[in-house]
Structure 1
């Protein structure tokens, strides 16, 4: 068996498959995020949850799970951790005792405001090798891909 160098690995069709390329892109973004934003100690998913709650006060936890595609058990743990940090408050609505409504506390809103500065600066830096038109087109294509891809 011949030893191959890293630069000579052939992926064949896999190197052109959307699922593979999307996963590789996600890995690259996360590597860059944790390298550049490690000091803030907030994972992208945690910020996304806080941002979504801040933009939708009183959102049902089940709807947030669905929309952000986060498993219910993981969301429950995440919300409890954010609640323990004083960022999120949960409320059980009178009309549905099984539901949970989420809102940011004033401390949570202050944290999101501060986090959003560096988080969106990081996001704006992604795709820096693309022109603004290419980045807009890529974003539009990703939206179209997400909207037309459903779980079987």
Structure 2
């Protein structure tokens, strides 16, 4: 069986990343780490976390959305979603309602404080996106977004 390493020693300056630089899993993991690092640099002082902000944005754009659909869309485990929504309720950002016609369903709506919260940080979030996207050209960003939407399985993306 051939050895994996083809050189005698690895130095701090020369790390052999072959087999990894073509790995979608490896590259998306590093991209996610970079995304989180930039998010916390830009918005961490506001007490924001990426998953929380995305969840609030989704609820804000879809008042009355089912909690389960939010979890499914954002790929958050139901138990984690329940904890997150409870934390939002404790902060006065989200209101949960249970419709009379479907007692198993939980509907989510931003409170006035939740809408104000998003409004306060919308510009900071836009600036964060600019900072995050800075290494890419406009054309590269269009391509990257299209490919990520397709890879993530957004409906209808295969036609674009």
TM, length-normalised to structure 2: 0.87
**Counterpart for residue 62 of structure 1:** 68
Alpha-carbon separation, structure 1, partners of 2:125 and 2:55: 13
Return 5+ residue gaps in structure 1 as ranges: none
What does 1:1-152 correspond to in 2, within 5 Å?
4-147=10-153
* Corresponding residue pairs, total: 148
Higher gyration radius (CA): 2
TM-score normalised by L of structure 1: 0.91
Give secondary structure in 2 for the equivalent of 1:16. Answer: coil
Shift of 1:10: 1.1
Q: CA RMSD in A?
A: 1.6
